Amino acid sequence: MPISTRDIGFEYGRLFAQQGQLPRLPVPSLQKTLAKYSESLEPLLPSDKLAYSKRVIHEFGESAQGQELQRRLEARAQDPSCANWLEEWWNDLSYMGYRDPVIPYVSYHYSFNDDPLCSRPNQRAAKLIAGAMAFRQAIIDGSLPPETAKTGALCSHSYKFMFNACRIPQKPSDICRTVPYEGNDTIVVIRNAQFFLLPLVQDGIMMTQAEVERVLDRIVAQADTNAAVPVGLLTADNRDTWAENRRYLIDAGNAAVLNAIESSAFVVALEASRPVTREEFSHAIWHGDGRSRWFDKPCQFVVCDNARAGFSGEHSMMDGTPTLRLVQYVIENSPLPMGSANVRNCTFEQLHFRTPPGLVAAAKTAERLFIEGTEKQHLAVLNYSAYGKEEIKRLGCSPDAFIQLALQLAYTRLYGGARPTYESSMTRKFLHGRTETCRSVTRDSVAWCRAMMSLSSNDEERTSLFQTALATHTRLVREAVEGQGVDRHLLGLRMVLRPEETKPEIFEDPAYAYSSHWYLSTSQVSSENFTSYGWSEVTPKGYGVAYNIRKECLIIHIACMRNEHALNSDHLAQYLETALNDVRNMLLKA
């Protein structure tokens, strides 16, 4: 089957109208980046190691090699054929070339609030399907405007990979397959490891929600009386193994079934589970039992049998902001009528995989790996209801910086010191921009944490240090959003190094690897419509912390791996709750 038949270079309508005016991602000044890098190491290293690293950084900045690597990177950025100097490297190193399973290590999820108007699961699913197809149609007909920020329009490039797209496993690096929207108004519904193709346009007319709900009832009834090999679990395997098994599937006569799944607009997973607790809900939406998923699809809507619902996203070609916009629209808009006097008896098709013994064995192996990976994920979802964004703003603070500092205090109290922390900062003001790193541990954040743990410090001193740390963090985020961070620039300098050239000492310095080994990997996606959102840690020694800053509460999803490092998400959540109480009390007393 052809890998891609949609021209992703073609841009049409309001969504892409500003693309030609977007600035290109800049290459920061070498000296400024090295100064920021040096400063970021100060709160992380002992004095002897810091002195060595500072010397290495200075020598690199003064060296002919450092100047040459900077020149090469600037030349790449100025190449008219290169939309974004970072894009190809970032997509490959962070996503497409990553060989571990996408679940749980790449994918993310949004857990939606309950819908009081939808008490039945298939009713909820039909409503979500209608909203998603309306959003897709707005992309197709050109009526969807671009997202905007204070600086203007944001890049819309990633929207091209939202619908009718699929990650395809290949060695040594995956690719994303796209197909034309026209003629592919289909979705794939998965229930009890069985796949069903549902054409949403029948006899030239888009199905109503009532018609979709009726078809889903029939699909569930059919699926629950049959069984199938859980082929979807193959997408949860190591990427090289999955590439081999996908070829095996094709050779076994499954090319048409794979094409139907990969070219569909999106997937709807109808899970038989009934999650109750926040943690159960997160697990259910994020990955479930893996049998009723296709983890390579960028958009999977998940509905459980108790009508709880959410979204599971494959991260490789889209970050959180475009899919946040999608699901906000889907939740808040129901463009098709909930019922109709003329409900057609619409058709669907079950997709049958041919599964010779080798594929059955491969699915069992993939399931063992899936269970091992997902059961290691220790989740805690902190629903902090004492206050939220409105109170933080009344206290005169940036909500994001406030949460970041509270998290530093919690981690420092729990482990006795600060360790490298990543906060994702969006760079979509630039053409094909994605993210930059904000290094959240600073001299100022460490000084404040120490004061909070010192009996000799008073609230006035602590508040002063807090305000300084808050300003520093806000500045670093602002610089990262402007493409003036540290990590992407250093990566670029490393990537333009030629194979025969000696690697600069700055990249051999243990501090380089340590300072980008994210013991705390953090990101914010905020919505009043989510009970939580989250993803995994990025290192076995660390936590993944996803936070949702709602108006009157804070929802923090904490994940870590159950392993020899003895991390505990419940403990960090408890320390974070205490820290949030202490920060507000400190500011109220000052």
**Residue 383 one-letter amino acid:** N
Q: What angle do CA 542, 543, 548 make, to 5 degrees?
A: 160
Packing angle between helix 569-589 and helix 459-481, nearest 10 degrees? 120
How long a stretch of residues is the chain? Answer: 590
* Paired strand residues for 547: 524, 556
Please provide residue 380's backbone torsions phi and psi, each rounded to the nearest 5 degrees.
-135, 130
Q: Which residues contact 318 (CB under 8 A, 6 or more apart)?
A: 158, 159, 161, 162, 298
CA 322 to chain centre: 10
Residue in 315, 473, 489, 557 annotated catalytic: 315
Closest of 524, 226, 553 to residue 391, by C-alpha:
553
Going by DSSP bridges, is the β-strand pair 520-524/421-426 parallel, antiparallel, or unpaired?
Answer: parallel
Evaluate whether 463 touches 586 at the Cβ level (below 8 Å): yes
Please provide residue 329's backbone torsions phi and psi, each rounded to the nearest 5 degrees.
-65, -45
Secondary structure, 3-state, 225-239:
CCCCCCHHHHHHCCH
**Residue 536 one-letter amino acid:** S
Q: What angle do CA 330, 331, 333 make, to 5 degrees?
A: 65
Which helix (H) or strand (E) is 530 found in, with range? strand 530-534
Rounded distance between C-alpha atoms, residue 162 and residue 330, angstroms: 14
Closest of 95, 104, 231 to residue 169, by C-alpha:
95
Rounded distance between C-alpha atoms, residue 579 and residue 585, angstroms: 10
Is 315 considered catalytic here? yes
**Catalytic residue numbers, as ranges:** 315
